[in-house]
Amino acid sequence: MNKKVLALLSTGHVVTDLNQGALPMMLAFLQPAFSLTQLQVGIVMLAFNLSSSVIQPVFGVLSDRFTAYWLIPTGCLLAGLGMSLTGFSPNYHMLLLAALVSGLGIAAFHPESSKYSRFASGPRKATGMSLFSVGGNAGFAAGPVLATYFFGLAGLRGSSGFLALNGLMALILLFYLSTITGTGPQKTRVTATDYHQDNLPEPADPLTFKLLLPVILLVLVVIMRSWVHFGLVTYLPQYYVHYLHRSETYAATLTSVFLFAGAFGTLTGGPLADRWGLKNVVVTSMALMIPLLYLFVRLGSDWTPAVVAMLGFIIISTFAVTVVFSQELLPNNVGLASGLIMGFAIGMGGVGATLLGYIADLWGLPAVFQVMMVFPVIGLILALFLPGKKEITRRNLAEG
């Protein structure tokens, strides 16, 4: 395991994903400045989600087919550039464009950086991916705090702090790019000046339906997990503030407990998967979500923080595990595999949040958590059909 490369990529992940967490807070500052409607705010978030998540498989294919190591520093820089421009936008349309640029940077960074995280992980792939993934979780959680800090320093123009931070990180990644790319499968160092034809990656395998079927199952499992994840982050504060009439501080604290417990879960899930198997960890996580969601609805408020912490730990513990799972299923299309899980499947969580919002409008906020229990049940059933370690090994040998 190359800890130096993993530390570089994880730190880059922190700085890049700060922008994902920062945008909702920036929109809170920008809404009164531009007199934005809730629909306009939603459109900005939708555009950002499409460009940062759903489009990631496209960058994954680019990573597999061409030499795309330059996407690592470039993606980090674009993420900060777009976020910095939000505070300088003269009108709504420029704000929308700035959000799209930031999202594209995030989408560009993830497949390529996760691919080299896999290479740097050696035989402990899930552990290495955990170290990389926890950077993104930490960045997402810290984004709102940093946006508030920059706003306090210089108002809307404080968004330029994101360009300074991401620009510095992009320079560091560029300086160490040969070290990062030196972890490739053939241990060849690759730079912009000495890249040779001999270093070109092997052509990706043709993607047949038989090859993609278990990947489709895994994507559906991750979508079910994301619907629970996004549903809790979106509606847990509203449930406590608007239905139970608790303070905003209490609701924000519960959300933070959920996210930080998830970061700890990310660090734990990888080593467990290396020891007990990818499928076993995914199945166990889905199974445990069901009683925990039931307890969340049924238990009194004294137990709520503990249950929310366990939910965060269990749900997000499989984040890195499912990325490695997809890479094991598509070992010669690692960029596409990463983009499908880190981008498309997780990005589809916004669809689940929209569905749950419709349910809340129809039947009230408590119904959201009742319906939410169905998602891990579906995810558990699908996860049981995923291939185990021996089956993956036989499958890859047959394909190879």
Domains observed in the chain: 3-184 (1.20.1250.20), 209-399 (1.20.1250.20)
- CA–CA separation, 317 and 312 (whole Å): 8
Average the pLDDT over each of 131-135, 148-152, 212-216, 297-301 and give the range with the smallest value. Answer: 297-301
Tens of pLDDT, residue by residue over 331-385, are: 888 888 888 887 788 778 777 877 888 888 888 888 989 999 999 999 999 999 9
36 Cβ contact list (under 8 Å, min separation 6): 27, 30, 92
Enter the tokens of residue 160.
């330029």
> Which pTM value belongs to this model?
0.76
- CA–CA separation, 74 and 365 (whole Å): 42
- CA–CA separation, 145 and 260 (whole Å): 14
Tens of pLDDT, residue by residue over 80-127, are: 999 999 999 999 999 999 999 999 999 999 888 888 888 888 888 888
Give the pLDDT of residue 397: 59
Asked whether the predicted pLDDT for residue 200 surpasses 70, the reply is no
Q: Is the dihedral of CA 209, 210, 215, 219 positive or negative?
A: positive
